[in-house]
């Protein structure tokens, strides 16, 4: 089968299609013929050697995809061949086929396109876990979503607005600000031309926000912390500013400086909560993942929520898809079709 095998880290040139043997199918596993792949920023970091959860090389990247069940192993009930499904996992989806545990198979949405099915799981579960499970989102909350025009950001806007919250979203281009507004954000802030902290203070007459979804780190994290109200909650779900170059000592210091840090004494004085979230743990807890998925999908269907598909590529254009995501010029979710 055709697949992208990551043998070494580096720029997009390390992504090359190769022929590999289809993975073996064992008891409790499912083979899925992949139709559409959803890209995630963690895969950019993995390609660059900056993602701690990445498997040992060589491996096939790819954390989520949509396809149909081609074969099931022993002890796999209720998953017939030919069934459209969503696949989530640590790796393996940059390929024509993937074999995963049955626990990593999620039901596809009948009313979604293949691209939308490939784009939903990681982004919406990330936003849901951060906002609902950790932050205990309430309708009275004022919510700040950093990088709001990206895949997780567009999901988070929809979830927060459907809960009745006032939403601030940041982005750096006019087209991204238009997208944020179209999803219901009350305030779209261009962080390239104005200080988002000052803008929020001016809008709220000096008040801050109750929840922050933070994906950048560095100065963005520090300013976001300063905006938190008493009983405020901030959740870190990524470090987009992380750009470690092992050959450049200056980047070591900058990376160390920009890692989010908090002082417990300051948090106690302000009665604030800071947390972090990573979906990887859900793969080890099938019962918890099923509950999160059920709660999320019931809510999404009730409020008619859908992922935003910003860009679509062919399988042989994977390097270009990575380059676009890494440039931070993309909007919504990037998907790749086989």
Q: What distance in Å separates the CA atoms of residue 334 and residue 318, rounded to the nearest whole number?
A: 10
Q: What distance in Å separates the CA atoms of residue 189 and residue 296, rounded to the nearest whole number?
A: 28
**Which long-range contacts does 315-324 make (Cβ < 8 Å, 24+ apart)?**
315/2, 315/17, 315/37, 316/17, 318/4, 318/15, 318/17, 318/94, 319/12, 319/13, 319/15, 320/12, 321/39, 322/12, 322/15, 322/39, 322/43, 322/44, 322/47, 323/12
Range(s) of the chain covered by CATH 3.40.50.720: 139-276
Dihedral sign, Cα of residue 264, residue 242, residue 61, residue 82: positive
| Cβ neighbours of residue 286 closer than 8 Å, sequence gap 6 or more | 103
pLDDT tens readout for residues 191-240: 999 999 999 999 999 999 999 999 888 888 899 999 999 999 999 987 65
**Residue corresponding to tokens 């750009």:** 243
For the cut 60, the answer to whether the pLDDT of residue 247 exceeds it is: no
Range(s) of the chain covered by CATH 3.90.180.10: 2-120+307-337
pLDDT tens readout for residues 28-58: 999 999 999 999 999 999 999 988 889 999 9
Angle, helix 218-227 to helix 196-203, in steps of 10 degrees: 20
- Cβ pair 209, 228 in contact under 8 A: yes
pLDDT at 260: 66
Question: 196 is written with which tokens?
Answer: 């988002």
- At the second CATH level, the architecture of 139-276 is 3-Layer(aba) Sandwich (3.40)
Q: Which CATH number fits domain 2-120+307-337: 3.30.450.20, 3.90.1200.10, 3.40.630.30, 3.90.180.10?
A: 3.90.180.10
- Region 273-290: mean pLDDT is 87
């Amino acid at each position: 089968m055709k697949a992208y095998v990551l043998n070494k880290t580096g720029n997009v040139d390390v992504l090359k299609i190769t022929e590999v043997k289809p993975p073996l199918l064992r008891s409790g596993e499912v083979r899925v013929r992949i139709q559409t792949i959803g890209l995630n920023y963690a895969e950019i970091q993995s390609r660059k050697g900056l993602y701690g959860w990445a498997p040992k090389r060589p491996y096939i990247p790819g954390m989520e995809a949509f396809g149909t069940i081609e074969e099931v192993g022993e002890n796999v009930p209720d998953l017939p061949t030919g069934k459209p499904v969503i696949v989530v996992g640590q790796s393996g989806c940059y390929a024509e086929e993937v074999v995963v545990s049955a626990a990593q198979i999620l039901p596809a949405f009948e009313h979604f396109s293949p691209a939308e099915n490939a784009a939903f799981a990681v982004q919406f579960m990330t936003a849901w876990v951060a906002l609902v499970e950790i932050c205990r989102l309430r309708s009275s909350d004022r919510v700040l979503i950093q990088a709001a025009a990206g895949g997780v950001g567009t999901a988070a806007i929809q979830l927060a607005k459907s809960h009745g919250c006032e939403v601030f979203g940041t982005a750096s281009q006019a087209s991204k600000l238009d997208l944020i507004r179209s999803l219901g954000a009350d305030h779209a802030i261009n962080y390239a031309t104005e200080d988002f902290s000052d803008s929020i203070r001016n809008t709220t007459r000096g008040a801050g926000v109750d929840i922050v979804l933070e994906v950048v780190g560095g100065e963005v994290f520090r300013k976001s912390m300063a905006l938190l109200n008493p009983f405020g909650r901030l959740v870190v779900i990524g470090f987009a500013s992380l750009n470690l170059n092992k050959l450049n000592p200056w980047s070591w210091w900058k990376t160390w400086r920009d890692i989010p840090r908090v002082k417990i004494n300051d948090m106690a004085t302000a009665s604030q909560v800071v947390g972090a979230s990573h979906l990887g743990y859900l793969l080890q807890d099938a019962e918890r993942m099923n509950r999160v998925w059920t709660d999320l999908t019931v809510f999404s269907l009730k409020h008619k929520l859908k992922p935003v598909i910003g860009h679509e590529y062919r399988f042989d254009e994977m390097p270009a898809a990575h380059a676009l995501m890494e440039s931070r010029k993309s909007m919504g979710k990037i998907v790749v079709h086989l």
